Amino acid sequence: MRALRIPGLLEPEAVGPIAPSLETSMETPEEGEASMGPVPTSSPERLSASRPRSVDEAQTRQLHGRIDELYRRIAGGAIPDPGSAEQALSWLKQAREALLKPDGYDEAEYYYSLALTRYAIARRLWRWSYTYGLFVFLWGLAWLGAYLWALTAGRGYSAWVVPPGYEGIWEPIMWGGLGGVCGIFYSLYWHVAIRRDFDRQYVMWYLVQPILGSMIGMIIYMIITVGFFTIQGTPAPANPLFMYLIAFIAGFRQRFFLELIDRIVQTFTPNPRSGNS
């Protein structure tokens, strides 16, 4: 998918690549790569302890130019996260100081590579936010329209899929799905606009949110109708809006509801016997 050009946002691709061979090799990350995490590399002590290689003045000037160019990009906002940008700038500072040493070229290249890796990760996350993130947003909009239609004009079609005697299950299913859609939009807002660390590894999580929300809404209906709250000492409410509210909240915060179900199952499940008994 191609990234959208959003007015007012920095587009890292608009600037020519730095050190084509090194930066190009960073464009294909391993699956499941963590965003903005520490970069595993060899220590500078090991580099300085190794045998120094012959470096001419042209190579030193070239590395100076690459450091200056990366300085300019990061200072221009290429890394949105302030902490990551500060760390990358610190590495560039160390690289520039190492170049002043007679045998510090390898150490300078090491710190420059750390900063360049952080820059490449930030650029990938930006691109994923407006490619995969845009797809997830459209996915949520489609489900939002489907649920709103099912609660209004499509309410009459519920008789085709709901068995007799369970007519009240339609609305909790839809409200649970709406909670899942709201969870999609909230998570996108948080990871794209606030944290700026949207990771395509979690796309499947976004895709299943409306489906899981609908299933949770159905479970909420069953729990209330069989009198679970009555068993707990609280009478089941006569107002169906309470059921819809619970279904929406559970669909929005699915993890907490699923953990609650898991704890209930564990209370009725005997502990497994130990191997010594």
109 and 217 in a single domain? The answer is no
Tokens of 56: 């001419």
- The residue from 99, 125, 151 where one domain ends is 125
Q: Are residues 212 and 180 in contact, defined by beta-carbon separation less than 8 angstroms?
A: yes
Q: How many domains does the chain have?
A: 2
pLDDT of residue 164: 83
Q: Are residues 112 and 95 in contact, defined by beta-carbon separation less than 8 angstroms?
A: yes
144 and 255 in a single domain? The answer is yes
Q: How far apart are CA 228 and CA 215, in angstroms?
A: 18
89 and 194 in a single domain? The answer is no
Question: Is residue 15 in a domain?
Answer: no
57 and 119 in a single domain? The answer is yes
pLDDT of residue 237: 58
pLDDT tens digits for range 102-122: 889 999 999 999 999 999 999
Question: Is residue 67 in a domain?
Answer: yes
Closest CA to 180 of 99, 252, 268: 252
pLDDT of residue 231: 53
pLDDT tens digits for range 146-175: 999 999 998 888 888 888 878 889 999 999
Q: How far apart are CA 95 and CA 160, in angstroms?
A: 69
> Alpha helix (H) ranges present in 152-190?
158-161, 170-188
Question: Is residue 70 in a domain?
Answer: yes
Q: Which residues in the chain come in under a pLDDT of 50?
A: 1-17, 19-40, 47-51, 274, 277
pLDDT of residue 167: 81
Domain of 250 in residue numbering reads as: 132-267
pLDDT of residue 205: 96
- The residue from 93, 125, 157 where one domain ends is 125
